[in-house]
Amino acid sequence: MTKTSLYPGFFISFEGIDGAGKSTHIESFKKLMQERYPDREVVMTREPGGTPLGEQLRNLLLDAPMNLETEALLMFAARREHIAQIIEPALLAGKIVISDRFTDASFAYQGGGRGLSLAKLNDLEQWVQGRADGKLLQPNLTILFDLPGEIAQARRSKVRTPDKFEKLDLVFFEKVRQEYLRRALEDPSRFHKVDATQTPEAIWNGLQALEINW
């Protein structure tokens, strides 16, 4: 059985290091899905966040310095609420859910970047995404914007005031990137890797050509 058949809906996550180009494409991608599947509702959401409690946790997570384990636990607490309130009900109702980040980000940032053990992250993933039937709720498709840390940093420095994670250095973002790539290798049927060094137009053409295996 594929993960796709766990729910009538379809779950897509967008991932990548800060500045890789997710925000540039996610709204248009939502519109594309809506045009392609006019009889389905498309729900756009994000992590950390997605629920009133999750958004409160997001404010804390993005600004307050905290112990690494605390950070991971709060990320997964926000995720549990997000799954219970938003993601699972939408998937059960046959909707398309697009989330700006999901669990791969915890492996990449708290694991790869900050060094939390993958065993602990695996436990949290099982805890928060495990279902009564023993299967794991995962995105059906994860679109990973892959970009060298240096290029992402140059793009970021042009635009915005950095949050807590964005202030971290180049070595950190390379480790984050490598963990994303490791996760992609581990589950190649779920991941679609985008070469984010391409022009926005080329990236968009690639996204439009992407086949959704419902």
Ligand X SMILES: Cc1cn([C@H]2C[C@H](O)[C@@H](COP(=O)(O)OP(=O)(O)O)O2)c(=O)[nH]c1=O
Footprint of ligand ADP (CB under 6 A): 16, 18-24, 145, 155, 158-159, 196, 198-200, 203
Counting contacts by CB under 6 A, is residue 23 touching ligand X? yes
Closest distance of CB 124 from ligand ADP, Å: 24
Kindly state the tokens that stand for 71.
């950070």
Q: Which of 105, 116, 143, 203 binds ligand X (CB under 6 A)?
A: 105
Residue 16 or 113 having the CB closest to ligand ADP: 16
Q: Does the annotation flag 22 for ligand binding?
A: yes
Between β-strands 191-195 and 141-146, what pairing exists: parallel, antiparallel or unpaired?
parallel
Contacting ligand X within 48-87 (CB under 6 A): 48, 75
Residue 24 or 85 having the CB closest to ligand ADP: 24
Q: Does the annotation flag 135 for ligand binding?
A: no
Q: Does the annotation flag 115 for ligand binding?
A: no
Place of tokens 């409160």: 56
CA gap 62, 162 in Å, rounded: 10
CA gap 5, 105 in Å, rounded: 24
Beta-sheet strands, E only, within 6-86: 10-16, 42-46
Q: Which does 101 bind (CB under 5 to 8 A by kind): ligand ADP, ligand X, none?
A: ligand X
- Give me the sign of the Cα torsion angle 181, 18, 108, 5: negative
Residue 23 or 122 having the CB closest to ligand ADP: 23
Q: Which of 46, 82, 177, 190 binds ligand X (CB under 6 A)?
A: 46
CA gap 6, 111 in Å, rounded: 27
CA gap 174, 113 in Å, rounded: 8
Counting contacts by CB under 6 A, is residue 101 touching ligand X? yes
Q: Which helix (H) or strand (E) holds 146?
A: strand 141-146
CB 7, CB 91: distance < 8 Å: yes
Query: Binding site: residue ranges?
Result: 16-23
Contacts with ligand X, residue ranges (CB under 6 A)? 18, 23, 46-48, 75, 100-101, 105-106, 109-110, 163, 165-166
Binding residues for ATP are 16-23
